[in-house]
Amino acid sequence: MSQKDYGLEDQLFTWDGWDDNGPMALQFYKVELKVPIGEFPVGTKFPVAFFNGDKSTLSLMDEDDVEHTYELLVNIGKKLEHDNGTIH
């Protein structure tokens, strides 16, 4: 799988739709966690998730319209190989 096929959001949750709200601001709808985030286990569902790239945060809005915001910290993974402009 190439880097382009597996974005940050793909690592965290599934979703049914999304909107681009400007540079580094993405909003996702009907998300389900693939990994635990804060006190929420894998499989927890949220109506909305919002990435704020400028502040490096992820906000999860629950069914009661309560916003749960977490800082996004960097963890560097494996080195990717380049082959004729394609990243593997």
Residue 81 counted as domain residue: no
Residue 83 counted as domain residue: no
Cα separation, 31 vs 9, in Å, equals 10
Alpha helices in 1-88 (DSSP H): 8-12
**Residue in 9, 69, 65 with CA at minimum distance from that of residue 35:** 9
Residue 85 counted as domain residue: no
Q: How many domains does the chain have?
A: 1
Q: What is the extent of the structural domain holding 28?
A: 3-75
pLDDT in tens, the chain (88 residues): 344 456 788 999 999 999 999 888 999 999 999 999 999 999 999 999 999 989 999 999 999 999 999 999 988 888 888 887 777 6
Whether the CA torsion 75, 81, 86, 88 is positive or negative: it is negative
Residue 84 counted as domain residue: no
Q: Please state the pTM of the whole predicted model.
A: 0.80
Q: Return all residues near 4 (Cβ < 8 A) that are at least 6 apart.
A: 87
Residue 86 counted as domain residue: no
Tokens describing residue 60:
């999860």
Residue 88 counted as domain residue: no
